[in-house]
Amino acid sequence: SVYKKISEVEDQVEAYITLSEEEAYKKAEEIDTAIEQGEVLGPLAGIPIAIKDNICTEGIKTTCASKMLEDFIPPYDATVVKKLKDAGAIIIGKTNMDEFAMGSSTENSAFKVTKNPWRLDRVPGGSSGGSAAAVAAGMAFMALGSDTGGSIRQPAAFCGVVGLKPTYGLVSRYGLVAFASSLDQIGPITKSVKDCALTLDVIHGFDPKDGTTKSVKNATSYLNEIEKGIEGLRIAIPREFFPSTLDSQITNEIMESMFMLKGLGATIDEISLPITEEGLSAYYIISSAEASSNLGRFDGIKYGYRSDEYEDIEELVLNARTEGFGKETKRRIMLGTYTLTSGYYDAYYNRAQKVREKIKQQFNDIFKKYDLIISPTSPVLPFPIGEKIGNPLDMYLSDIYTISANLTGLPAISLPCGFCMEGLPIGLQIIGGPFSESKILRAAYALE
Ligand code: GLN
């Protein structure tokens, strides 16, 4: 079983925070019984799946890799978890992440540092680093992650697996511990594009418990769609995404993939789409502002970490937050609170929203003429553990290619497109128009 693999490699990789072995075997037995009784099985019957630890699982600890929620056991399942269970999937465990999904390396976890299975001295990416590492190391067949600024795609790229951030509203966020509600989406991390389509088939759809979800009418399933080929798809490649400073190994592998797509009948045009550090700043302002509001609920009273020492309520809240939150989380709360303060609001938050609108407009214009945009997923290869953790701005820069899809709500996938000389995977990103997951998956499948 997958637990055997876990017992072999988890000591080195450290992808999981909690293993739910007992529940998993119980579920496996239920499926066995269903088979014996000739029941019709769900599309994921018996498939071992790992869940990022910011997605609520009934009866199984959900910590967000934070001391604040170290003992939190949710009394309910997130909608995505319920859908997976209904489809027959078996929850293997909860995966490590950056605390509250804030980070790009999984080094911000309060509990452990997950290693990149390709090279144990490298980070697996983040914040869904545990999910990506678990799939890459064979410790789960598939996994769920969450993506606020790249947290599914970047770890998928770093670990050589497939990761999809769906269109905002395609997948329910009910039961996802919110980081930045206008940017967050849950999505699959898998070995193959087929598995990605299959998982998306199960988890997507309107949910009355999440008012931002939409129902989409698919002709068939995503799984059926992917075989349709890419004849006639119009692909744009923004020249600004390939500056001369970009690692030439990344540029080369992506160019090779472009030739492949062309050979399969797509048209490829070079276009201009300036990506600027302005966009990155807007992302960090908006996401931190929303985080400071969302994380206000962790006061050490209703649930969460409670300090032993306090004289009054104010001190109780203060101590819970001082002791319960890690460094990066505090940094974001402070940044967010500051930019929302009256007097600074216009200079920061409002300006960031304007930049967001501008970026939306730019992408809108491109998708009037093109079906897909192709770019690298990350400007850097999996970096050594410890290299960037002392320099937050350097860490933030590694999100430059992924944040646009969140600011615009557009769907985007990362898939492996080759290896660099040191034997580390390189990721390619495909961004599409609103609810164009089928097209994205078709192109990704053609490249696989
Ligand atoms: N690395 C980005 C951040 O730290 C994205 C995180 C995410 O997508 N959850 O905010």
Give DSSP secondary structure letters for 344-381.
Answer: TTIIIIIHHHHHHHHHHHHHHHHHHH-SEEEEES-SSP
Structure tokens belonging to residue 266: 């797509």
- Determine the residue of 123, 127, 295 to mutate for testing ligand 1's pocket, defined as the one with the most ligand atoms within 8 A of the Cβ atom: 127
**Position 73 pLDDT exceeds 80:** yes
Whether omega before 248 lies within 30 degrees of 0, making that bond cis, reads no
- Determine the residue of 96, 100, 104, 332 to mutate for testing ligand 1's pocket, defined as the one with the most ligand atoms within 8 A of the Cβ atom: 104
Nearest residue by C-alpha to atom 4 in ligand 1: 103
Structure tokens belonging to residue 361: 């407009």
Predicted confidence band at 219 (pLDDT cuts at 50, 70, 90)?
A: low
- What is residue 167's DSSP assignment? P
- Quick one: which atom of ligand 1 is closest to the CA of 328? 4
**Position 243 pLDDT exceeds 70:** yes
pLDDT of residue 362: 97
DSSP helix/strand/coil, 163: strand
Any ligand 1 atom below 6 A from CB of 103: yes
Helices 437-447 and 248-263 cross at an angle (nearest 10°) of: 100
Residues 87-110 have pLDDT tens digits of 999 999 999 999 999 999 999 999
Distance 228 CA to ligand 1 centre (A): 33
Distance 40 CA to ligand 1 centre (A): 40
Predicted confidence band at 305 (pLDDT cuts at 50, 70, 90)?
A: confident
Q: Mean pLDDT over residues 39-47, rounded?
A: 96
Any ligand 1 atom below 6 A from CB of 150: yes
DSSP helix/strand/coil, 274: coil
Q: Are 291 and 100 in contact (CB under 8 A)?
A: yes
Any ligand 1 atom below 6 A from CB of 398: no
Residue of 109, 151, 378, 404 with catalytic role = 151
Domain spans of the chain, in order of start? 11-448
**Parallel, antiparallel, or unpaired for β 16-19 and 90-95?**
antiparallel
- What is residue 433's DSSP assignment? S
Predicted confidence band at 349 (pLDDT cuts at 50, 70, 90)?
A: very high
Distance from first CA to last CA of the chain, Å, rounded? 27
Closest CA to 153 of 410, 373, 414, 399: 414
- Determine the residue of 177, 287, 397, 404 to mutate for testing ligand 1's pocket, defined as the one with the most ligand atoms within 8 A of the Cβ atom: 287
Distance 435 CA to ligand 1 centre (A): 22
Percent of the chain with pLDDT over 70: 100
Q: Which CATH class name applies to 11-448?
A: alpha beta
Distance 103 CA to ligand 1 centre (A): 5
Q: Are 167 and 405 in contact (CB under 8 A)?
A: no
Q: Mean pLDDT over residues 121-125, rounded?
A: 98
Give me the torsion for CA of 109, 112, 113, 119, rounded to 10°: -150
Any ligand 1 atom below 6 A from CB of 290: no
Separation between Cα atoms, residue 159 and residue 122, nearest integer Å: 10
Predicted confidence band at 357 (pLDDT cuts at 50, 70, 90)?
A: very high
**Position 217 pLDDT exceeds 80:** no
Question: To the nearest whole number, what is the mean pLDDT of the chain?
Answer: 96
Q: Are 414 and 429 in contact (CB under 8 A)?
A: yes
Any ligand 1 atom below 6 A from CB of 349: no
CA distances (Å), origin 173, targets 2, 27, 180, 255, 300: 28, 24, 11, 35, 24
Residue of 104, 127, 257, 398 with catalytic role = 127
Question: Residue 174: which residues within 8 A CB-CB, separation 6 or more?
Answer: 78, 79, 207, 209, 210
**Position 183 pLDDT exceeds 90:** yes
User: Which amino acid type is present at position 38?
Assistant: G
52 classed as catalytic: yes
Closest CA to 136 of 200, 193, 190, 195: 190
Distance 54 CA to ligand 1 centre (A): 13
Separation between Cα atoms, residue 130 and residue 117, nearest integer Å: 10
Predicted confidence band at 378 (pLDDT cuts at 50, 70, 90)?
A: very high
Q: Give the chain's count of helices (H) and strands (E).
A: 15, 11
Taken in order 219, 225, 228, 232, is the CA torsion positive or negative? positive
pLDDT of residue 86: 97
CA distances (Å), origin 417, targets 157, 240, 254, 318, 444: 9, 20, 7, 47, 10
Q: Mean pLDDT over residues 319-347, rounded?
A: 94
pLDDT of residue 301: 87
Residue the block writes with tokens 């190994």: 249
Residue of 27, 52, 67, 194 with catalytic role = 52
Q: Mean pLDDT over residues 130-151, rounded?
A: 98
Predicted confidence band at 274 (pLDDT cuts at 50, 70, 90)?
A: confident
State the CB neighbour count (10 A cutoff) for residue 29. Answer: 10
pLDDT of residue 306: 85
Any ligand 1 atom below 6 A from CB of 155: no
Q: Are 352 and 282 in contact (CB under 8 A)?
A: yes
- What is residue 431's DSSP assignment? E
**Position 304 pLDDT exceeds 90:** no
Separation between Cα atoms, residue 307 and residue 340, nearest integer Å: 28
pLDDT of residue 57: 98
Separation between Cα atoms, residue 159 and residue 156, nearest integer Å: 5
**Position 170 pLDDT exceeds 70:** yes
**Position 276 pLDDT exceeds 90:** no
pLDDT of residue 203: 97
Any ligand 1 atom below 6 A from CB of 201: no
Q: Are 303 and 164 in contact (CB under 8 A)?
A: no
- Quick one: which atom of ligand 1 is closest to the CA of 146? 9
Distance 354 CA to ligand 1 centre (A): 21
Q: Mean pLDDT over residues 130-146, rounded?
A: 98
Q: Mean pLDDT over residues 205-233, rounded?
A: 91
Q: Mean pLDDT over residues 293-319, rounded?
A: 89
**Parallel, antiparallel, or unpaired for β 48-52 and 142-147?**
parallel
**Position 260 pLDDT exceeds 90:** yes
pLDDT of residue 157: 98
Distance 358 CA to ligand 1 centre (A): 21
Question: Residue 368: which residues within 8 A CB-CB, separation 6 or more?
Answer: none
